[in-house]
Amino acid sequence: MQKFNHDRFGSSWAFLRNFNFKLRVKRRKFPLLLSILTLFCVIALNACLGSPQGELTPLRMGITPWPGFDIAIYGKEAGLFQQRGLDVEFVRFDNQQDSSRAVMRNQLDLAFASLWDVMQVDPTSDRPEFVMVTNVSQGSDGVVAKPGIESAKQLRGKKIGCKLGTVNHLILLEALQSNGIEPNAVEIADLPNEVAARQLKEGTLDAAVLWEPDLTAIAREIQGKVVFTTAEVDSLVIDGVIARSSFVAERERALQQFILAWFDIMNAVETQPDRVFEFVGEQLGQTGESFAQDYSGLQKGDRDLNRRMFATNGRLQEAVGKIAELLKADPRHGKSIREDIQLNATSVNAAIEAWES
């Protein structure tokens, strides 16, 4: 791991102390010279000391409500981004498609987004790049069904609440594919999460795609059953960071520092989870225990996961192909598929090497 030398000017102080000692011997002969030289040295040293703190690189980053993204709050409030020379501003969005669009329109530098959403971002003159993985869903998302439906295989012919084109649509397609059901064998009610949850409780839907904590809570409330979760598959619900290709080319140093700070956060989750979860939960109006439960259904985006994802012909490359197949298999989303998405491993691999050195 890269370490910060908080005493980087220690040798300079030693030089000054020695220099001033010699001057004091001849102080009576050179009072004016001593004053001038001392003032010069102090001004020069203060300038050097101030520059690392005063020249933080600004980054504007889109963020949507999701435990895998909200964990970054710890990095900002605990000063981990600042230690890496960054001034990160989080800009809140309701959905990842809007934040991804803002990145491609040069309104943001970066955004947290799912690979699924990045592959559907509106065409622009620039190209989207997926530059880091923050998490993979491992049980946090799933399908809850009304009483009487005991397994995902019974979803055939049923009406399911799910917002088309969103990650929820991907989760449903994963559930159907893993149980041998064609997409057109189910009716999709194109609804956002909160409406789908309400209609399921009212009995106008057979099932709904939700995420935790609503997934388990709704199942309990309606005495239904969670018939599928992303823990049952090697999920394509892969979340990460989107950037413009022009940003990556022009500000590679800032991007690498951001990824280093992210690995600092992941290290804190590994070594002091209670502190991290308590802190983030408090910022979100939750208990630490509640946020920890929400985060537990994710495979965290540490160095090992990013190695696997960004390996040559690795999981990310495979996932892009499979997501494209699912999008084509159910065109009800009405979106164009970005064929030019770049999986850029350069910055994340450099950050892994630097963090571990």
DSSP code, position 213: T
Q: 160: closest CA among 337, 328, 332?
A: 332
Q: How many CB atoms lie within 10 A of CB 151?
A: 11
In the block, tokens 């001033």 appear at: 20
Q: How many CB atoms lie within 10 A of CB 260?
A: 23
pLDDT of the residue at 355: 98
Segments in the chain below pLDDT 70: 1-54
| Region at 205 (left for phi over 0; alpha for psi -120 to 50; beta for the rest) | beta
According to DSSP, the residues that pair with 128 across neighbouring strands are 244
In CATH terms, 57-132+238-356 corresponds, of 3.50.50.60, 3.40.190.10, 1.10.10.10, 3.30.565.10, to 3.40.190.10
Q: Please list, in sequence order, all residues whose beta carbon lies within 8 angstroms of the beta carbon of residue 73, skipping any fewer than 6 positions away.
A: 90, 279, 280, 283, 284
Rounded distance, CA 304 to CA 319, Å?
Answer: 17
pLDDT of the residue at 336: 82
Sign of torsion over alpha carbons 299, 300, 304, 309? positive
Helix ranges restricted to H, the chain: 10-25, 31-54, 67-70, 72-77, 80-83, 96-104, 115-118, 167-178, 193-202, 214-222, 245-250, 252-271, 273-284, 288-295, 303-310, 315-329, 346-356
pLDDT of the residue at 1: 43
**Phi, psi at residue 108, to the nearest 5°?**
-135, 160
Query: Counting Cβ atoms within 10 Å, is residue 74 exposed (0-12), middle (13-18) or buried (19+)?
Result: buried
pLDDT of the residue at 54: 63
pLDDT of the residue at 29: 38
Rounded distance, CA 102 to CA 81, Å?
Answer: 22
Angle at Cα 70 formed by Cα 200 and Cα 266, nearest 5°?
Answer: 125
pLDDT tens column, 300-339: 999 999 999 999 999 999 999 999 999 899 999 988 888 7
Q: So where are the chain's domains?
A: 12-49, 57-132+238-356, 141-232
pTM: 0.82
Q: Which two tokens stand for residue 112?
A: 């947290």
The CATH number assigned to the domain with range 141-232 reads 3.40.190.10
pLDDT tens column, 66-100: 999 999 999 999 999 999 999 999 999 998 989 99
| Exposed e or buried b per residue across 162-186, where buried means at least 16 C-beta atoms within 10 angstroms of its C-beta | bbbbbbbbbbbbbbbbebebebeeb
One fold for both 57-132+238-356 and 141-232? yes
pLDDT of the residue at 43: 32
